[in-house]
Each structure stands twice: as structure tokens, then as C-alpha cells.
Amino acid sequence: MPLLQLLHGAQNRELLKARTDSRVTDSQISNPSETIEDHRLAKQFGMIGGGMMGEALLSRLVAQQVFEPSAIVVSEPNRSRQEFLAKQYQIQVTDQNRQAADSDVILLAIKPQVFPQIAQEFAGEKISAMVISILAGTSIAQLEAAFPGAPVVRAMPNTPAAVGAGITAIASGQHAQPHHIEQAKKILGTVGEVVEVPESMLDAVTGLSGSGPGYIAIVIEALADGGVAAGLPRAIALKLAIQTVKGTAQLLQESEIHPGELKDRVTSPGGTTIAGIAELEKSGVRSALIEAVKAAVHRSKELGQ
């Protein structure tokens, strides 16, 4: 199938999806049971920790009007960050974690090593809010021990979330009900796609999508270096490499074909692409990436012990 036909097919699927989404929205509006469910969605949002990933979520929650700025409280110990977040997003910022916790949803966006301090601070207190944690290596069992009875969702986002192009895997605790999970998906979906997995798979997620941007950065840098070696100016080589990776990913996503099939479609007999692929296979690039994921998964398990 020619690539042009492939693209047209992807565009048609997007149009169909948009129409389908529209029909679903209309039915939800007219369905009383859905209206009742909407009343169970969170209105107040609290965030403990105002670092990069927390701000990535915050900025899009405000921009997409998931929560009103007046309904958001962020707890952040750093004075300069407090001032920046308050001015940038017109939200309430404090250094008191309890103020942020007095919400319908609490997002834990702190460093993992700070979690024991947070757990100690809330020891013995009844927290009714849903707790969403993006802390690496902090298990659902640890979260539920710190917040007994609270609905808990553990999330593993990746750094492209900073530009709204991330993917987050979530796993839910024993007290999380379907409407809690949907609310978590809505919140985390502001920074990219969301998939739901058992907690036992989160180490594998870490090794693939969590660490993956580092692998892809090396691939892009290496492609650009190859272009420079072939005589291209550095800036042009880097731009070509970035857009090639970005465009290929988008094509695979929208066309829903297997990467191997796309590779075959762009590989002509005796052509340039097959010559390059042969060198990649000779150098073990495929197995190197597989082993990189496995090593990262192993390290994630070590850090979680």
C-alpha cells in the first residue's frame, strides 16, 4: 500500500473517531446516570510539590479548565517557586501540606525520598481525598499505609508530559472505584495518553516509557552525528533527525500499522534504506535497545526494594 494511501486512511479514521466521540458526548449529556456520575468528580485539587512534572500537570489542568485556578492549592517549600507558581497560574500556593490535602484530589509530586516525611506528617489523620502519586519506587501498599482508606492511584508519567506529549501508566489501589480511576485518567490525560496496567507492570513501564526518552535522545543525536559526518551542518542535521523520529512516530500512531510493516514499505530492493538497516543489524542496535529496557527494569526493581 503506498504511503499516500496510508495517510488518507489515517485521516479518515481520525474523522470517524471525531464523529464517534461527538455522538458519545451527546448521549452522555442526555443520560441521567452520567449526570449523577459527574457530580462525583472532584472540584478541589491539591498538589504537594511544585517541581517540573507537577507544574507540567498544573499548567494543563488550568489551560484545559479541568479545575478552576481558585480551586487549586499547591504546597511548595521553595519561596521563589511559590511566588512563580502563584503569579503564573493565579492559584493559591502555600508551604503547608495540610492545606493542599484539604481537597477532593491530592497529587503527590515530590521526590521519593521526601515521602516518609509526608507520611509521618499525615500519620493518624483521615484523608478522604483521592491520592494520585507520581513518585517513582513508592508502592501502592506504601501509599495506602500512609493514607488508610483513601482511594489511591499510582502513576508513572514520562518527561514528554512537559509538552503535553507524554504517556502515563496508572495502577489503582483497593479503595479506588471506577469514578476515581476515570478522574485520574482525566487529570493525567491533560499531559498525554494514559494506559491502565497492574502495579506489577510498572517497573516494565519505567524501563520502557519512563526511561525511553533518554534512549530516543541518543538515537536522535546519533542520527544527527551521521548527518554531520556526511557533510550536513549541525543545525540542519539535528532538525532532520528530530522531525524524522517525530514524523515516523506520528505515522505509526495514526496508521496503526506494525513498525516492521512500515520498515518494509520504505525499504526498496538494493536501495539506500536497506543498506543502512543492514549496518544497524550488524551493530546490534535492536538488541542494544532491548537490553537497555531490561537493564532499566532491573534497576527500577532494585530501587523499589
Tens-digit pLDDT profile for residues 29-43: 333 333 334 444 568
**Residue found by looking up cell 517541581 in the block:** 51
Q: Is the pLDDT of residue 8 over 60?
A: no
State the pLDDT at residue 29: 31
State the pLDDT at residue 41: 58
Q: Do domains 40-201 and 210-303 have the same CATH topology?
A: no
Long-range contacts, stretch 183-186, CB < 8 angstroms, 24+ apart: 183/41, 183/42, 183/105, 183/130, 184/130, 184/132, 184/153, 184/155, 186/41, 186/66
- Strands 152-156 and 166-172, how do they pair? antiparallel
Q: Which of 10-24, 156-170, 200-214, 236-250 has the lowest mean pLDDT?
A: 10-24
CA–CA distances in Å: residue 259 to residues 3, 78, 107, 252 = 13, 45, 36, 7
**H or E element that contains 26:** helix 3-30
Q: Would you say 93 and 78 are in contact if contact means Cβ atoms under 8 Å apart? A: no
Q: How many residues does the chain have?
A: 305
Domain 210-303: assigned CATH number: 1.10.3730.10
Identify the band that residue 2 occupies on the pLDDT scale cut at 50, 70 and 90: low
Q: Is the pLDDT of residue 175 over 50?
A: yes
**Residue found by looking up cell 516494565 in the block:** 204
Residue with the larger pLDDT of the pair 58 and 125: 58
State the pLDDT at residue 126: 84
Q: Is the pLDDT of residue 19 over 60?
A: no
- Helix/strand/coil (H, E, C) string of 138-179? CCHHHHHHHCCCCCEEEEECCHHHHHCCEEEEEEECCCCCHH
Nearest to 245 by CA among 275, 226, 223: 223
Distance CA 213, CA 10 (A): 25
What's the chain's average pLDDT?
88
**Residue found by looking up cell 504537594 in the block:** 48
State the pLDDT at residue 31: 34
**pLDDT tens-digit readout, 95-106:** 999 999 999 999
Q: Is the pLDDT of residue 130 over 70?
A: yes
Would you list the domain boundaries of the chain?
40-201, 210-303
Identify the band that residue 128 occupies on the pLDDT scale cut at 50, 70 and 90: confident
Rg of the chain in Å (alpha carbons): 22
Name the CATH architecture for the domain at 40-201.
3-Layer(aba) Sandwich (3.40)
pTM: predicted TM-score of the whole model, two decimal places: 0.82
Mean pLDDT, rounded, for 146-169: 95
**pLDDT tens-digit readout, 41-87:** 568 999 999 998 899 999 999 999 999 999 999 999 999 999 999 99
**pLDDT tens-digit readout, 265-294:** 999 999 999 999 999 999 999 999 999 999
State the pLDDT at residue 92: 96
**pLDDT tens-digit readout, 236-254:** 999 999 999 999 999 999 9
Residues 6+ apart with CB under 8 A from 146: 115, 118, 119, 122, 123
State the pLDDT at residue 259: 97
Provide the total of helices (H) and of strands (E) in the chain, helices listed first: 14, 8
Identify the band that residue 5 occupies on the pLDDT scale cut at 50, 70 and 90: low
